[in-house]
Amino acid sequence: MKLASLNNGSPDGRLHIVSRDLTRATAAPGVDTLQQLLESWDALVPALVAIYEKLNAGLVIDAIAFDPAQAMAPLPRAWQWLDGSAFDSHGDLMDKVFGMTKEQTGRPLMYQGVSDRFLGPQETSFFPSEGDDIDFEGEFGIITDKVPLGISADAAIGHIRLLVQINDWSLRRLAPIEMKTGFGWIQAKPPCAMAPVAVTPDELGNNWRDGRVDLNLVVHWNGKQFGAANGYAMSCGFQDLVAHAAYSRSLVAGTVIGSGTVSNSNYREIGSSCIAERRGIEMIDEGAPKTAFMRFGDTVRMETCLPDGQALFGAIEQQVAQTP
């Protein structure tokens, strides 16, 4: 099933069921918001699945044309946003560039970020200054229902209800400053954006395996392809990230967990999902970075397609601008 939250003037939007080809939508009857659905998933979802099947068959008379420009983030505000860093090729490259040696603990990397605001797929992102080194980060993410404290990874995969595509904005100049405090990121991590549609894992078929999205995340910067890394290369699956987060706390329904920047070890051939990785490659290969960070007016586009070419989540298409 595919779901979107269309703008109706409220903070959370109105939940809609979206056809598999992303052309039609219909309001979810009896369920106003995605958060409401997540809190009563087992009771509410069977009726919505039945409508989804009718929508795909063209049998919903009051269906409307689906317009991504009217879509908010599928979950415009969440109780919790936890972002991992599960692609070793990205982490190892960044460590090499900055001369860092992390202790190998076998524990997933994760931080807690802004959850009360997820930007819509075509919403402009405002930043104070180009001098903060504005960077996009293409990620996959999951949304859970209620997860009990101390859950195992094997059991945790059953609590992954939806998959999403995320642009995790970063201000690279500020990140090392905040990291040195030993506390964490605040200024370096503004609100993320989501693609217009959240999907249940079954929509991926065999491309959802081992708790990973085995599809390419294609990134365009100012109309030029920048990267097409595959999501299967995660060092641990999303179920492991859920279990890690729930070790000492239960997770409320509507918890969003990110994969971290999608990256593959052959990044020189396939490109990158963020500018920092491209600059790191240039530093290693050429002695200095050549690719500049984003400027006001720049655009970024991110999209994931199934093997048949059908868009899965719809596209993130954002422009950066100076804070008014």
Q: Residue 319 corresponds to which tokens in the numbers above?
A: 């422009």
Q: Give me the domains of the chain, ranges plus CATH numbers.
A: 2-69 (no CATH), 73-322 (3.90.850.10)
- Round to whole Å and give the CA distance between 217 and 192: 16
198-199 and 2-6 beta bridge pairing: antiparallel
Question: Is residue 246 within 8 Å of residue 151, measured between CB atoms?
Answer: yes
Degrees (nearest 5) of the Cα angle 169, 25, 70? 40
Q: What's the mean pLDDT when you consider all of the chain?
A: 95
In 52-176, at which residue ranges do the beta strands (DSSP E only) sit?
A: 64-65, 80-84, 110-112, 125-127, 134-135, 138-144, 160-167, 170-171
Q: Is 224 helix (H, G, I), strand (E, B) or coil?
A: strand
pLDDT score, position 108: 87
Rg (CA), the chain: 19
In the chain, at which residue ranges do the beta strands (DSSP E only) sit?
A: 2-6, 14-18, 24-27, 64-65, 80-84, 110-112, 125-127, 134-135, 138-144, 160-167, 170-171, 193-194, 198-199, 208-209, 212-213, 216-221, 224-230, 255-258, 299-304, 316-322
pLDDT score, position 107: 82
pLDDT score, position 27: 98
Start-to-end C-alpha separation, the chain: 38
- Round to whole Å and give the CA distance between 109 and 296: 31
Q: Report CA-CA distances (Å) from 172 to 31, 281, 289, 311.
A: 40, 16, 14, 30
Question: Is residue 188 within 8 Å of residue 105, measured between CB atoms?
Answer: no
pLDDT score, position 103: 61
The structure tokens 């600059």 sit at: 279
Q: How many CA atoms lie within 13 A of 32 on its CB side?
A: 6
Q: Residue 125 corresponds to which tokens in the numbers above?
A: 């992102």
Q: Is-above-0.75 flag for pTM?
A: yes
- Round to whole Å and give the CA distance between 40 and 60: 24
Q: Residue 95 corresponds to which tokens in the numbers above?
A: 């460590």
- CB under 8 Å to 115, separation ≥6 — which residues? 77, 78, 79, 80, 81, 256
pLDDT score, position 104: 63
Residue-wise pLDDT tens for the chain (324 aa)? Answer: 999 999 999 999 999 999 999 999 999 999 999 999 999 999 999 999 999 999 999 999 999 999 999 999 999 999 999 999 999 988 788 777 666 566 666 788 899 999 999 999 999 999 999 999 999 999 999 999 999 999 999 999 999 999 999 999 999 999 989 888 888 889 999 999 999 999 999 999 999 999 999 999 999 999 999 999 999 999 999 999 999 999 999 999 999 999 999 999 999 999 999 999 999 999 999 999 999 999 999 999 999 999 999 999 999 999 999 999
Question: Is residue 259 within 8 Å of residue 84, measured between CB atoms?
Answer: yes
Closest by CA position to 135, among listed 312, 261, 281: 261
Closest by CA position to 167, among listed 215, 111, 221, 96: 221
Burial 53-75 (b: 16+ CB within 10 A, else e): eebbeeebeebeebebebbbbbb
